[in-house]
Structure 1
């Protein structure tokens, strides 16, 4: 079944069928199969699902698109243009740190989309634009480790731990997250800038 789902992504998406619809159909079929069997208690699965996290994630998308309509991407584009004017290193480090900050406070999934839209609307070209695109991905991948709300996976994991009566405070998580994430983020962005500097004329 999972192989059919994977094949569906490759076959149906080019036909204009959204990935979300394919995934929902696959989930529905798997759930129906599980419900007919006796191995999995589907009622317990539904009751134990972290629905509040699902609602939170949907809410974040609504907030982000609202901010976009309010001019957030235009403001970010202005900031990115200023960074691009200062050269490759400033563009790479600045974009990565900015993306990491945004993804840590409003979740990485919408943040990477907002960053991509802002970069696309900027005046950056060539190697500098390439660096900003990669830096946005890096920042949105590492930045969520700073706060618990930065990543859906983190929220799900904390939910599972809470069910096991293991509580991790937000303050402790933030201290550990920022201590471990910032050095890795800066080193990765510096390595990216160094690598792309060889592509410049």
Structure 2
């Protein structure tokens, strides 16, 4: 609980010192398909760099529409399928596998993630846009 509180404070401190502007330049703005894919890709990359929770916290202010929130959630949830530290859930899963004597080949995990994550982001973002266009 204390760790999560510290994490929130660190992200807020970074935003107060320019992180928001930097992320806005990288992740962009807007609701076009390209804009949403860009945000999802930045969210996935951030998940692999710093873990999905701080990546979400850092990028959440840029998710100012329903479409952008969906793209952000897609990125931070699909992204950790590349590197094991991208999500606490993956680390817990890996620990349970080790405890059960199941060997996880991280090189293969990462290679598969590098192929699957872009497909997931593309497919899920496309489905979100399509679903919205069918309802309007």
Relative to the length of structure 1, the TM-score reads: 0.56
Q: Contact (CA 8 Å) 1:142, 1:181: kept in 2 or not?
A: yes
Q: Aligned equivalents of 1:195 and 1:164: distance in 2? A: 41
Structure 2 equivalent of residue 190 of structure 1: 126
Q: Aligned equivalents of 1:118 and 1:75: distance in 2? A: 11
Structure 1 equivalent of residue 85 of structure 2: 149
Q: Contact (CA 8 Å) 1:77, 1:119: kept in 2 or not?
A: no
Post-superposition Cα deviations, 1:126-158, rounded to whole Å, max 9, x if no partner, equal xxx321111001111111112101111110111
- 1:74 partnered with 2:18: no
Which structure has the bigger radius of gyration?
Answer: 1
Q: 1:199 to 1:147 in 2, by over 3 A?
A: same
Post-superposition Cα deviations, 1:30-85, rounded to whole Å, max 9, x if no partner, equal xxxxxxxxxxxxxxxxxxxxxxxxx7x7886676555444422221123344x42x
Q: Contact (CA 8 Å) 1:74, 1:118: kept in 2 or not?
A: no
Q: For CA contacts below 8 A with separation 6 or more, give which structure has more relative contact order.
A: 2
Question: 2:72 aligned to 136, 140, 161, which one?
Answer: 136
* 1:184 Cα offset (Å): 1.9
Q: Aligned equivalents of 1:173 and 1:62: distance in 2? A: 32
Q: Contact (CA 8 Å) 2:50, 2:86: kept in 1 or not?
A: yes
What root-mean-square deviation, in Å, do the aligned CA atoms of Structure 1 and Structure 2 show?
A: 2.9
Question: 2:40 aligned to 87, 96, 108, which one?
Answer: 96
SS at match of 2:63: helix
Structure 1: 5+ residue stretches without partners: 1-19, 21-54, 121-128
Post-superposition Cα deviations, 1:95-125, rounded to whole Å, max 9, x if no partner, equal 11111111122111121121112335xxxxx
Q: Aligned equivalents of 1:154 and 1:59: distance in 2? A: 21
